[in-house]
């Protein structure tokens, strides 16, 4: 990633999906990783392809290209691991991207009323106006979801 910090501006990660570029607030990004094996199991949630194992964590893979471009990605070069906020907790989600990512600094313009829910705002970079993505609106889960009791961490022995 290239870093070009500017005073008074915010940091964003630029990602590429097909021919288009999008931005995500850098504070929402955990890391960029090479694609790894996706584990799939039966479910009824669209947009979640499966899960990957990353640093001992199980991370859902959410293909956002279809929602943003109208088609799935043909080639995936990386997974951008982003933080997805739910009502009272946060989790990682892996977003397949088709090119290198870049860390930039830019001033954010707020989203307008006419913008789609997944648009958190806009930035201007190298003459291009780029959507800032609202990961929470773009990925499934959370809305009206009753979160079950946590089962993370080591298990207690069952009777």
Partner 1 sequence: MRVAAPPSKASTARSEQIILFRISGQLFAVSSASVQEVRSVDSLSGAAMEMNQPTLRKVRHVLRRGDRALFVVNGAAHFGLPASSAGLVFVLRKTRTALLVDGIDKMATMTRLQSLPLAYCHEERQWYRGLTALDQSVIPVVNPEGLLTPEELALLDASLTPLALPEESTAEGMAEPE
Of the candidate residues 43, 112, 126, 127, the single one contacting partner 1 (CB under 8 A): 43
Of the candidate residues 1, 5, 53, 110, the single one contacting partner 1 (CB under 8 A): 53
CA distance 156 to 80: 34
CA distance 16 to 141: 24
**83 lines the binding site for partner 1 (CB under 8 A):** no
Q: Which of 8, 148 has the CB closer to partner 1?
A: 148
Which helix (H) or strand (E) segment holds residue 11: the answer is strand 10-17
State the minimum distance, in angstroms, from the CB of residue 66 to partner 1: 15
Closest CA to 28 of 83, 92, 66: 83
CA distance 98 to 15: 8
**34 lines the binding site for partner 1 (CB under 8 A):** no
Residues of this chain that bind partner 1 (CB under 8 A): 39, 41-45, 47-48, 51, 53, 56-60, 62, 84, 86, 89, 91, 93, 139-143, 145, 147-148, 150-159
């Amino acid at each position: 990633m290239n870093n070009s910090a500017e005073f008074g501006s915010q940091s964003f990660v630029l990602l590429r999906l097909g021919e288009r570029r999008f931005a995500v607030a850098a504070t929402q990004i955990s890391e960029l990783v090479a694609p790894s094996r996706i584990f799939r199991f039966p479910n009824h949630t669209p947009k979640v392809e499966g899960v990957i194992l990353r640093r001992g964590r199980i991370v859902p893979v959410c293909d956002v290209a279809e929602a943003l471009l109208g088609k799935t990605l043909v080639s995936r070069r990386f997974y951008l691991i982003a933080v997805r906020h739910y009502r009272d907790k946060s989790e990682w989600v892996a977003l397949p991207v088709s090119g290198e990512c870049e860390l930039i600094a830019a001033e954010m313009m707020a989203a307008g009323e006419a913008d789609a829910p997944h648009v958190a705002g806009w930035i201007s970079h190298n003459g291009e106006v780029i959507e800032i993505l609202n990961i929470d609106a773009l990925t499934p889960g959370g809305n009206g979801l009753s979160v079950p009791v946590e089962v993370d961490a080591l298990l207690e022995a069952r009777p």
